[in-house]
A = this chain, B = another copy of it.
């Protein structure tokens, strides 16, 4: 028997009528709730199939006060920050975890004023069951918003200067320290650093790790030379470095993009990597592998970061109280150092 092609979506009432039961029973059958006889459950299932019924998520959301969606908010003053493949990997992880919990993923790039405003509205109106916040900068308005709001919020990476109740982070300090120690263990003594933005906690923490390692080895840390995590800024920083400190023999860059930029500059200056200048990056994304030479870098578990953020949010939505998480990093040694 061919299924009808309904112009309008059938409602639960129509299913109930067709199955010869009340709406309540139909609802219970649909949700696998108890107190439904086998016969009626099957009748409902049949009616659902014949009518091609699909429950209306909006109506369900209104009744249950649960939207069935979680938002991932990427802050930043410029939407292009999102072009960093880092976020795509986070999303892959988060999406998988949300799938398991049957939550949809809403993606908010809070880059423009308008975007930020829409995020605020989303949070205040409970347009989602919870929010994951990423890439917050110092004094980011979203930080304040987050704890004014009556909604589960998980931070991806800690915001500058404060540890929120729930977050997932990676061991930025430890990773940066290990990277720098690796350079030192290679016999490098004039190891400079190309920092990420110092108005982000990741940028600061990675500088601290570098500094710790240098001081620990009895070496003088270089002052922070700040980039903005882009390839260009890495290239520019490296140029400044070569100009100011021509004798530099090692560089730790706070991410792969900047390391790739540094590589480019070093090459253009006619110096060899790693013979003259050894370079270590941070992230271990695709850029590290296609760089020439392939980049020694701090591997961080990016998909796991996304996955754990989502899982933490799901736990929160279910009324649990998970504990913050700091994921380990490890050094991936390749040719550049």
Contact = CB atoms under 8 A, between A and B. Distances in A.
A112 interface: yes
Contacts of A85: 83, 85, 88, 286
- Main SS of the interface on chain A? helix
B54 A121 contact: yes
Given A56-B125, A115-B99, A91 B62 contact: no
Interface residues of A, number: 57
A82 B92 contact: yes
B95 A127 contact: no
A286 B104 contact: no
A129 to B, nearest CB: 11
A132 to B, nearest CB: 13
Contacts of A125: 9, 54-57
B83 A89 contact: yes
A124 interface: yes
A264 B286 CA distance: 13
Contacts of A127: 57-58, 104
Nearest to A52: B124
B99 A114 contact: yes
B107 A91 contact: yes
Contact of A92 (B56, B79, B292): B79
A241 interface: no
30 contacts: A9-B126, A9-B150, A54-B121, A54-B124, A54-B125, A56-B62, A56-B125, A56-B126, A58-B62, A58-B126, A61-B61, A69-B106, A80-B92, A82-B91, A83-B88, A83-B92, A85-B88, A91-B109, A95-B115, A99-B118, A102-B118, A104-B108, A104-B122, A105-B106, A105-B107, A231-B289, A263-B290, A263-B292, A264-B292, A291-B292
Given A83-B85, A85-B85, A91-B107, 9 more contacts: A9-B150, A58-B62, A69-B106, A83-B286, A92-B109, A95-B115, A102-B118, A104-B106, A287-B287
Interface of A: 9, 52, 54-59, 61-62, 67, 69, 79-80, 82-85, 87-89, 91-92, 95-96, 99, 102, 104-109, 112, 114-115, 118, 121-122, 124-127, 150, 231, 257, 260-261, 263-264, 267, 286-287, 289-292
